[in-house]
Amino acid sequence: METNFYNTPGKHKGILAWVLSTDHKRIGLLYLSCMTAFFLTGMTLGLLMRLELIAPGRTLMAASTYNALFTLHGVIMIFLFIIPGIPAALGNFMLPLQIGAQDVSFPRLNLMSWWFYIIGAAVAITSLFTGGGAPDTGWTFYVPYSIRTGTNVSLAVFGVFLMGISSTLTGLNFVTTIHRLRAPGMSWFRMPLFVWSIYATGWVQLLATPVIAITLLMLMAERFFGIGFFDPAKGGDPILFEHLFWIYSHPAVYIMILPAMGAVSEIIPVFARRTIFGYKAIAFSSLGIALFGYLVWGHHMFTSGMSDEARMIFSLLTFLVAVPSGIKVFNWVASLYKGSIRLDTPFLYIMAFIFLFSIGGLTGLVQGALATNVHVHGTYFIVAHFHYVMFGGTVFAFIAALHYWFPKMSGRMYHEGRARIAALALFIGFNTLYFPMFVLGWQGMPRRYYDYLPHYQPLHVVSTVGSWILATGILLMLYNLFRSLRTGEKAGDNPWGGTTLEWKTSSPPPVENFEKIPEVTTGPYHYQ
Partner 1 sequence: MNEQDNHIVTTKTFAAVWIALLMLTAITVSVAKMHLGAFSAFTAIAIASAKAGLVLWYFMHLKYEKRLLKFLLLVPILTLAVIIGLTFVDVWYR
Q: Is the dihedral of CA 469, 471, 472, 478 positive or negative?
A: positive
Q: Quote the CA–CA distance of 44 and 51 in Å, as a whole number.
A: 10
The DSSP code sequence of 80-149 is: IIITTHHIIIIIHHHHHHHTT-SS-S-HHHHHHHHHHHHHHHHHHHHTTTSTT-S--S-TT--TTHHHH-
Q: Quote the CA–CA distance of 45 and 69 in Å, as a whole number.
A: 6
Q: Check binding of 250 to Cu ion (CB under 5 A).
A: yes
Q: Check binding of 239 to partner 1 (CB under 8 A).
A: yes
- Residue 250 touches which of partner 1, Cu ion, ligand HEM, none (Cβ within 5-8 Å per kind): Cu ion
Q: Which residue, among 106, 394, 374, has the nearest Cα to 253 in the 3D structure?
A: 394
Please pick, from the candidates 375, 420, 447, 504, the single residue that binds ligand HEM as defined by CB under 6 A.
447
Q: Check binding of 388 to ligand HEM (CB under 6 A).
A: no
Please pick, from the candidates 306, 336, 341, 370, the single residue that binds partner 1 as defined by CB under 8 A.
306
Please pick, from the candidates 21, 71, 379, 431, the single residue that binds ligand HEM as defined by CB under 6 A.
71
Q: Check binding of 390 to ligand HEM (CB under 6 A).
A: yes
3-state secondary structure of 412: strand
Q: Check binding of 213 to partner 1 (CB under 8 A).
A: no
The alpha carbons of the chain give a radius of gyration, in whole angstroms, of 23
Q: Check binding of 467 to ligand HEM (CB under 6 A).
A: yes
178 and 199 in contact (C-beta within 8 Å)? yes
Per-residue x/- track, 116-155, ligand HEM (CB under 6 A): ----------------------xx----------------
Residue 200, phi-psi category: left (phi > 0), alpha (psi -120 to 50), beta (remainder): alpha
- What backbone torsions phi and psi does residue 353 show, to the nearest 5 degrees? -55, -50
> Minimum Å distance from CB 310 to partner 1?
4
Q: Check binding of 465 to ligand HEM (CB under 6 A).
A: no
Q: Quote the CA–CA distance of 79 and 156 in Å, as a whole number.
A: 11
In the complex with Cu ion, which residue's Cβ is closer, 250 or 377? Answer: 250
In the complex with ligand HEM, which residue's Cβ is closer, 26 or 387? Answer: 387
Q: Check binding of 99 to ligand HEM (CB under 6 A).
A: no
Q: Check binding of 431 to ligand HEM (CB under 6 A).
A: no
In this chain, which stretch among 66-74, 141-149, 262-270, 315-323 interacts with ligand HEM, using CB under 6 A?
Answer: 66-74
Q: Check binding of 305 to partner 1 (CB under 8 A).
A: yes
What residues have CB less than 8 Å from 284, skipping those under 6 apart?
none
Contact set for partner 1, span 307-326 (CB under 8 A):
307-310, 313-314
Q: Check binding of 214 to partner 1 (CB under 8 A).
A: no
3-state secondary structure of 180: helix
> Minimum Å distance from CB 364 to Cu ion?
8
Please pick, from the candidates 259, 298, 324, 498, the single residue that binds partner 1 as defined by CB under 8 A.
298
262 and 400 in contact (C-beta within 8 Å)? no
Residue ranges binding ligand HEM (CB under 6 A): 43, 46-47, 49-50, 70-71, 73-74, 77-78, 81-82, 138-139, 383, 387, 390-391, 395, 447-448, 467, 470
